[in-house]
Structure 1
């Protein structure tokens, strides 16, 4: 089942697993942890789940009514869904502003490289795979000042030509949607 607060995809399995834990929550995290007999890891998981729900809902731009309904569809009791939705309603604008300011920002120099490589698919046959590499040079930072000798991180993504075409199509649609927001 797809949920709008999950960007119109299925709810992640880890969140589904935490819905039962979220159902046990009451007033404050420490009291909640004690009342629900959660260890420290369980309390952290619950906080992470609530944070993820709030950030995802704000990022996806869902209404409070949609969020409330979808949390209940996942099995969260109405009173808990209402409590989360109330916090969401009160902080939605600030969350969206924070997400907008924090998204798609990379420090240092960033470059892309691309190569087509052959992957052995058995019987000596090679299948073409597109390998995209994001090279991000992060400067060393000490007490707020950039220093010489930063480090480079390379993130690689390998995909078939069909997957690349699908990604290009989806990114084009995303760009059009973003341009429509201005």
Structure 2
């Protein structure tokens, strides 16, 4: 089933798993947590005390509390990025199994912070001006379970930025934005980028 706050794709399995945990919190505590997480997305970093207090109040271990925080953050960022209304988010969270009062707690905070969240996402999105080029190199091997796998390095070069700064070719290479991926990660990236392109084309 596709959800608009998930950008019209299926809800991630890990998020579905956390819905049950979110349901165990009281709606009041979930609202307070969501408010703190929302502010931390575009403001000061979330206080570690919030996580430890959540773990204590909800009788969660520390990894469990961090997973809950990650789930709330993902919901807020995804909904804001997809530009869904509070009513849609409320309905879809309930479809995922979140109790009505819990969904209302999240959507109320989302309504209060939606504009700030969207402005933050716009300002921090990857933006490239001018001519850009990609390069791909096999830079080593990843040893896991006795198996050898190639590690791929993808680099994005913003040529206009290099020219403006007067960088030579060697400096420009060092300044490139790069990520290193295993074959499985590369295939996952290709799949996600292909899906993103399909969704973008559907907006025209």
Smaller-chain TM-score bracket: 0.5 to 0.7
Matched, 1:111 2:133: yes
Tell me the SS of whatever aligns to 1:112.
Answer: strand
Tell me the SS of whatever aligns to 2:84.
Answer: coil
**Is the contact made by 2:135 and 2:156 (CA closer than 8 Å) also made in structure 1?**
no
Match of 2:6 in 1: 6
1-structure distance, mates of 2:103, 2:200: 35
Query: How many aligned positions are there?
Result: 143
**Is the contact made by 1:24 and 1:32 (CA closer than 8 Å) also made in structure 2?**
no
Over 3 Å counting, the alpha-carbon distance change for 1:154 and 1:14 in structure 2 is closer
Q: Which structure: larger Rg?
A: 1
- Spell out, residue by residue over 1:69-128, the C-alpha distance to the aligned partner (whole angstroms, 9 max, x if none): 11111111111110100110001011111111111236xx952248xxxxxxxxxxxxxx
Name the one with the larger strand percent: 1
Tell me the SS of whatever aligns to 1:136.
Answer: strand
Match of 1:22 in 2: 22
Moved over 6 A (4+): 166-169
2-structure distance, mates of 1:172, 1:154: 24
Tell me the SS of whatever aligns to 2:64.
Answer: helix
Matched, 1:43 2:65: yes
Matched, 1:91 2:119: no
Shift of 1:170: 2.6
Name the one with the larger helix percent: 2
Shift of 1:171: 7.4
- Give me the TM-score of the superposition, normalised by structure 1: 0.65
Over 3 Å counting, the alpha-carbon distance change for 1:10 and 1:18 in structure 2 is same
CA RMSD of aligned residues (A): 3.4
1-structure distance, mates of 2:81, 2:68: 20
- Give me the TM-score of the superposition, normalised by structure 2: 0.58
Name structure 2 gaps, 5 residues minimum.
34-49, 137-152, 159-169
Matched, 1:135 2:163: no
Shift of 1:8: 0.6
2-structure distance, mates of 1:77, 1:168: 30
